[in-house]
Structure 1
Amino acid sequence: MPRFLAVYTMKPEDLTRFRSLPKPEQNAIDAIGLRQWADWEERQAAFLADRGGMVGKTTRVTRDGITDGVNPFCGYIVVEADTIDAAARQFENHPHFTVFPADGVDIMPLLTDPT
């Protein structure tokens, strides 16, 4: 079955705004969102090829050297689906952007065989 990389995205300013909320409010959002996320993973378990994880600050390496990088990536997961549209539908109403202050999930086909 085809595999797709799904990248969770969040604008840095949205994360900053979330982290500026009072801690009890952040904790309440986290409690709701993490429960809904776990429920989503349970419903999608048959299609999860790699549960991935959340990621931290970016370091960028180019021919000019190593620097701090900035991008909207905050996590990833690998899913299996017949088509990219089917993969995208798995993320409709995902708590990443319905509960947390995130902007979306980018879906890309993996073009190489994992073995």
Structure 2
Amino acid sequence: MKNFLALYMGSPNMAAAIPDLSDETKSAGIAAWGAWMRQHADAVVETGGPLGRTKKISPAGVADFRNAVTGYVVVRAETIDAAAAMFVDHPHFAIFPGDSVEVVEQLPIPAG
């Protein structure tokens, strides 16, 4: 089994859309998210969670930065396709105004 980092991706207008969601929609989304976590509990390595402000550190220094990552979770699966299949119709974009989920394999650190 391999570990995969799943990144919940937003869009520039996502933050503006969240306050406009009804309490009923927000509650349904949280419940669906919890159901997804329970359904995949055997595969979840790290529950992750929502992400906040971003700082970009480079040779030029430290600066405020905006990216599209809104949260993450780490899951375990045999293949990247199996990991990706876990997120089809995920509440992140099926209920909330999230844009997508990106799944990337966590590779081992090369021996040096």
**TM-score computed with the length of structure 1 as normaliser:** 0.90
Task: Work out the CA distance in 2 between the residues paired with 1:79 and 1:97.
Answer: 18
Q: Aligned letter for 1:30?
A: K
Task: Work out the CA distance in 2 between the residues paired with 1:55 and 1:72.
Answer: 10
Task: Work out the CA distance in 2 between the residues paired with 1:16 and 1:62.
Answer: 29
Superposed counterparts of 1:84-103, under 5 Å: 84-103=80-99
Question: Is 1:75–2:71 an aligned residue pair?
Answer: yes
Q: Aligned letter for 2:87?
A: F
TM-fit CA distance, 1:30: 1.3
Task: Work out the CA distance in 2 between the residues paired with 1:18 and 1:39.
Answer: 21
Aligned to 2:11: 11
Q: State, as a whole percentage, how many aligned pairs show the same letter.
A: 35
Task: Work out the CA distance in 2 between the residues paired with 1:9 and 1:30.
Answer: 18
Secondary structure of 1:45's match?
coil
C-alpha RMSD of matched pairs (Å): 1.2
Task: Work out the CA distance in 2 between the residues paired with 1:13 and 1:78.
Answer: 26
- After superposition, what is the alpha-carbon deviation per residue over 1:36-91, rounded to whole angstroms, capped at 9, x for unaligned? 00000000000001111110011111111111101100100000000000000000
2:102 to 87, 95, 106: 106
Task: Work out the CA distance in 2 between the residues paired with 1:14 and 1:74.
Answer: 10
TM-fit CA distance, 1:108: 0.2
**TM-score computed with the length of structure 2 as normaliser:** 0.92
Aligned to 1:44: 40
Gaps of 5+ in 1: none
TM-fit CA distance, 1:101: 0.4
Q: Aligned letter for 1:98?
A: A
Task: Work out the CA distance in 2 between the residues paired with 1:101 and 1:50.
Answer: 23
Task: Work out the CA distance in 1 between the residues paired with 2:14 and 2:50.
Answer: 16
